[in-house]
Copies of this chain bind each other. A is one copy, B any other.
């Protein structure tokens, strides 16, 4: 697992103890997160959109349709800032000031490269489907050549990636520990619920195990 040395821009300044640049920290966050937010500049102004991503080795792929104004704007080598954030818990301190959240976040900077080579595009499309639901690409009809053409996929190198995270209990001012206030962490989890059949589902079809027993992180 390679280590990405922090550049001036990716270095975590606000809480240096919360920053991490090693791929052993970064990759599991990207792999667990179901979607990301992509920031870019258009006419000098900031724009941010949510979209689906997948990490394949040292590359982050993000997905869109050709109709998307966003991906049309950023596909020509434009600089992007991609962030994904997993909320792990509410940090409930004894003072309002010390309230916080436990989270794991990754920021990736870089020029976006449009994926045009058919082989890479197919691989990324397959990886995107399997990122959402592991094993799904083996169960569904894969894209036709025309569908592949209608899909825009952008690639960003993980070279300039960094992770930010906070874990653990609240940190209160020493004087506040005597206050009669409950303090601790309320963990939060993204939990799959019962699958809902498509109303047009043909009789006799049941959710496969990768849906019925969905786990965000396959072992």
Q: Does A35 have its Cβ within 8 Å of any Cβ on chain B? A: yes
Contact with B along A134-159 (1 / 0, CB 8 A): 00110111111001001100000000
Q: How far is the CA of A63 from the CA of B176 in the complex (A)?
A: 22
Q: How far is the CA of A47 from the CA of B140 in the complex (A)?
A: 37
Copies in the complex: 2
With a CB–CB cut-off of 8 A, which chain B residues contact A96?
125-126, 129, 136-137, 140-143, 147
Closest beta carbon of chain B to A164's beta carbon, Å: 8
Q: For residue A71, which residue of chain B has the nearest CB?
A: B14
Contact between A101 and B35, CB atoms less than 8 A apart: yes
Contact between A184 and B169, CB atoms less than 8 A apart: no
Q: How far is the CA of A198 from the CA of B12 in the complex (A)?
A: 27
For residues 184 through 219 of chain A, which have their beta carbon under 8 Å from a beta carbon of chain B? 184-202, 205-208, 211, 214
**A187 touches which of B39, B129, B196 (Cβ 8 Å):** B196
Q: How far is the CA of A70 from the CA of B12 in the complex (A)?
A: 11
Contact between A183 and B201, CB atoms less than 8 A apart: yes
Q: How far is the CA of A10 from the CA of B33 in the complex (A)?
A: 27
Q: For residue A177, which residue of chain B has the nearest CB?
A: B200
A50-B93 contact in complex given A132-B99, A195-B186, A205-B180, C-beta closer than 8 Å: no
Q: Please give the residue numbers on chain A whose beta carbons come within 8 Å of chain B beta carbons, in ascending order.
A: 13-14, 34-35, 37-41, 44-50, 52, 65, 67-70, 79-83, 85, 87, 89-90, 92-97, 99, 101, 103, 105, 107, 109, 125-126, 129, 132-133, 136-137, 139-144, 147, 150-151, 169-170, 172, 176-202, 205-208, 211, 214
What would be 7 A-B contacts, judged by CB atoms less than 8 Å apart? A41-B44, A89-B193, A95-B147, A181-B205, A184-B197, A184-B201, A188-B190
What 4 pairs across the A-B complex have the smallest Cβ distances? A39-B48, A187-B193, A39-B46, A39-B39
Please give 12 more A-B residue pairs, beta carbons under 8 A apart, in addition to A99-B132, A183-B197: A44-B44, A89-B196, A92-B211, A95-B147, A96-B126, A139-B181, A169-B196, A180-B202, A181-B205, A186-B195, A186-B214, A189-B191
